[in-house]
Amino acid sequence: MNIAIACLSLIAGLGVLLLSMNLMTQNIETLAGNKLKKMFNKLGKSKLAGVGIGTATTAIIQSSGAVTVMVIGFVNASLMSLTQAATIIFGANIGTTVTAQIVALGMLGTSSISMNVIFGTLAGIGAFIMLFTKNETVKKVGGLIAGFGMLFVGLMLMSDSMTVFTESEKLINFLATLQNPILLVIIGCLVTALIQSSSTMTSIIITMLYGGLITIDQGVYMALGSNIGTCIVALIACIGTGTNAKRAAFIHFFFNFIGVVIFMFIGLFMRLGGTSFGKLLEIMFPGVPTTQLAMMHTIFNVITVILILPFTNLLVKMTEKIIREKPKDKNGPKLTYLEEHILQSPPIAVEQVKKEILDMASDSIENFNLAVDSVLNRDISAKKDFAKREDFINFRNREIIKFVIELTSLEISEADRTYLGTVHHTVTDIERIGDYSENIFEYAEKLVENDYSFSDEAISELNELKTKINELYNVTMGMYVDGAGERIDSARALEDGTDEITKKMSNNHIRRMNEKKCSVDAGALYLSLASDAERVGDHLLNVAESVEKFSKRTKTVYRIPKQGDDDKDIVIKKTL
């Protein structure tokens, strides 16, 4: 009966531990969203910078699995190279060891009171904060504190269950037979793959070590195995992704596998020399076996990064040869910045939505300019390129909305939620610009088909209208990039300018008709074109007004940051 109760207590403790880590991850991602954005946007060509960003990000959100999945999403969306992804994954392996250090800290203390009890009280404190505050940010802080405290509550339940297990001679004798390093690595790998968390597995190993169920050497090899088992998260995440995303997942596996093999050989040579990891750790950190194991976990990952980092490019090339590009990966439309795995980090996903919309807007205005030029030059040779771009605009319209619906259901800040509320209208306005551009291109086809032409005066007016709409586009997209709602007056003035030009076009057209300078059929196309172009201006102004409303409601700026010293800021394509 005692064993059964201990098993239930162990399961309960494990459940609380997993829940606490999930709670901390969600709240930290929301609170530190802007910092996460800045870290990833500063990623350049420096391998050390990549390792540092991966370490810091994982230490913040307490999940190497989440960071690795997020990186796979970035690679799949072509936001970073395989080399950049590899260095971040290396850093994530170091960052994940912070959890083991926290767990080991909880096991310290006197016989009368442990650190688990002290830190466990934070669960109640955090819960009270969440219960009695209405401020969303304070609630997130309370959730973070509660999650941190629950981690130690889970450890207390697990460590208490170990006390019962230590009274079972059969269990102790069985565990004592598990001395083969390879077998211990396999056990650590399989259990970690089952629970999909190396941090949780390391926590279990530390509590077993604390309870006296295993030795430090057994714990070391099981912890080594957990580093291979954790790769299952990345391997699952790469299912259904592109070739580069699969390569990133396998780089994660190769990194950990190579590191474990190296340390297995080191352990072998140490045993031949009459020593072991356990003896060495006892010398380095005497009398604290839980700290010894936590430090070993950190030492393993740091040394592995030091050894493999210089060979990152070689590892990437090896992965590219093993996992070759498939032709089908290049077929079919694909969003540039959005990919489902990026949903693992909602704050960054919001940033990617903005970039995708900017690209969509750029395609729309490019099609508008192409359509007007086709009219002016009576040349429809670019019809295929125009149609392909229009299909992609429509594809983006559907897929961005679907992505935003998923994103809105996640934990995001109020500012981000308010912004996402404007996205549906924005992408609809941009899609409508594409539709009106399609109408204008059809006018070009009719001009060519019927051998119609416009007068020099009419062509001059069309050029003037095109220039004004491009000026409006640049101001609107500049507002969108900078979140500068105060520039709305400039946008409105330019939109008024398009209205004035179209009125002038209409009046002048009637005059030219009376003077017999323009045919009735060509004139009908001319007026329809002017009307459609004016509608393009209306939709651009709608986008600008969405930025203004968002700025007023949140009193914040959502400027899209630069990617790095060697990369350009989000480019608004020059259209004049």
Q: List pLDDT tens digits, range 335-355.
A: 878 877 777 777 778 888 888
Question: 84 with 43: CB under 8 angstroms?
Answer: yes
- Examine residue 167 and state whether it is found in any structural domain, yes or no: yes
Cα–Cα distance, 183 to 296 (Å, whole number): 19
Tell me, yes or no, whether 100 and 18 share the same domain.
yes
Cα–Cα distance, 223 to 238 (Å, whole number): 24
Q: What is the CATH number of the domain that holds 431?
A: 1.20.58.220
Higher pLDDT, 59 or 63: 59
Higher pLDDT, 66 or 429: 429
Highest mean pLDDT, choosing among 74-88, 248-262, 326-340, 403-417:
248-262
- Examine residue 352 and state whether it is found in any structural domain, yes or no: yes
Cα–Cα distance, 223 to 202 (Å, whole number): 6
Question: 395 with 333: CB under 8 angstroms?
Answer: yes
Query: 114 - beta bridge partners?
Result: 109
Question: 140 with 111: CB under 8 angstroms?
Answer: no
Tell me, yes or no, whether 21 and 163 share the same domain.
yes
- The two three-digit tokens of residue 199, written as one number: 């941090």
Confidence check: pLDDT of 381 > 60: yes
Q: Is 123 helix (H, G, I), strand (E, B) or coil?
A: helix
Cα–Cα distance, 237 to 127 (Å, whole number): 33
Confidence check: pLDDT of 131 > 50: yes
Tell me, yes or no, whether 474 and 411 share the same domain.
yes
Contacts of residue 438, Cβ cutoff 8 Å, sequence gap at least 6? 367, 371, 386, 390
Cα–Cα distance, 227 to 231 (Å, whole number): 7
Tell me, yes or no, whether 42 and 148 share the same domain.
yes
Tell me, yes or no, whether 135 and 169 share the same domain.
yes
Contacts of residue 113, Cβ cutoff 8 Å, sequence gap at least 6? none
The count of other CB atoms within 10 Å of the CB of residue 158 is 27
Query: How far are the Cα atoms of 24, 104, 136, 153 from residue 288, in angstroms, in the given order?
Result: 27, 9, 40, 21
Average pLDDT over residues 305-313: 90
* Residue indicated by tokens 């040779």: 381
Question: 403 with 384: CB under 8 angstroms?
Answer: no
Tell me, yes or no, whether 227 and 153 share the same domain.
yes
Cα–Cα distance, 208 to 14 (Å, whole number): 13
Tell me the per-residue pLDDT of 236-247, one tens digit each, with 9 for 90 and over: 766 666 677 788
| DSSP assignments along 393-451, one per residue | HHHHHHHHHHHHHHHHTS---HHHHHHHHHHHHHHHHHHHHHHHHHHHHHHHHHHHHHT
Tell me, yes or no, whether 300 and 396 share the same domain.
no
* Model confidence, pTM: 0.63
Tell me the per-residue pLDDT of 509-521, one tens digit each, with 9 for 90 and over: 778 777 766 667 7
DSSP letter assigned to residue 46: -
User: pLDDT band for position 561 (50/70/90)?
Assistant: very low
User: pLDDT band for position 81 (50/70/90)?
Assistant: confident
* Residue indicated by tokens 């060495």: 280
Q: Could you give the percent of the chain with pLDDT greater than 90?
A: 20
Tell me, yes or no, whether 296 and 411 share the same domain.
no
Provide the pLDDT for residue 262: 93
DSSP letter assigned to residue 273: T
* Residue indicated by tokens 């352990």: 267
Contacts of residue 137, Cβ cutoff 8 Å, sequence gap at least 6? 31
Buried b (16+ CB within 10 A) or exposed e, 388-419: ebbebbeebbebbeebbeebeebbbbebbbbb
Q: What letter represents residue 255's amino acid?
A: F
Provide the pLDDT for residue 368: 93
Tell me the per-residue pLDDT of 153-171, one tens digit each, with 9 for 90 and over: 776 777 666 666 656 667 6
Average pLDDT over residues 379-388: 90
Count of positions (residues) in the chain:
576
- Examine residue 571 and state whether it is found in any structural domain, yes or no: no
Average pLDDT over residues 48-77: 73
DSSP letter assigned to residue 189: H
Cα angle value 328/332/334 (rounded, 5°): 110
Average pLDDT, the chain: 80
Query: 109 - beta bridge partners?
Result: 114
Sign of CA dihedral 78, 81, 86, 89: negative
Tell me, yes or no, whether 441 and 293 share the same domain.
no
Higher pLDDT, 37 or 293: 293
- The two three-digit tokens of residue 99, written as one number: 């959890």
- Examine residue 565 and state whether it is found in any structural domain, yes or no: no
User: pLDDT band for position 360 (50/70/90)?
Assistant: very high
Confidence check: pLDDT of 555 > 70: no
Question: 100 with 294: CB under 8 angstroms?
Answer: yes
| 83 φψ region: left (φ > 0), alpha (ψ -120 to 50), beta (else) | alpha
- Examine residue 190 and state whether it is found in any structural domain, yes or no: yes
Question: 494 with 467: CB under 8 angstroms?
Answer: no
Question: 342 with 336: CB under 8 angstroms?
Answer: no
Tell me, yes or no, whether 193 and 301 share the same domain.
yes
SS3 letters across 449-500 = HHCCCCCHHHHHHHHHHHHHHHHHHHHHHHHHHHCCHHHHHHHHHHHHHHHH
For residue 242, give the H/E element and its range: none
Tell me, yes or no, whether 243 and 118 share the same domain.
yes
Overall number of domains in the chain: 2
Tell me the per-residue pLDDT of 219-238, one tens digit each, with 9 for 90 and over: 899 999 988 888 876 677 66
- Examine residue 335 and state whether it is found in any structural domain, yes or no: no
Tell me, yes or no, whether 309 and 188 share the same domain.
yes
- Examine residue 18 and state whether it is found in any structural domain, yes or no: yes
Report helix angle 82-95 to 47-61, nearest 10. 40
Confidence check: pLDDT of 36 > 80: no
- Examine residue 563 and state whether it is found in any structural domain, yes or no: no
Domain span at residue 490 reads: 340-554
- The two three-digit tokens of residue 188, written as one number: 């650590």
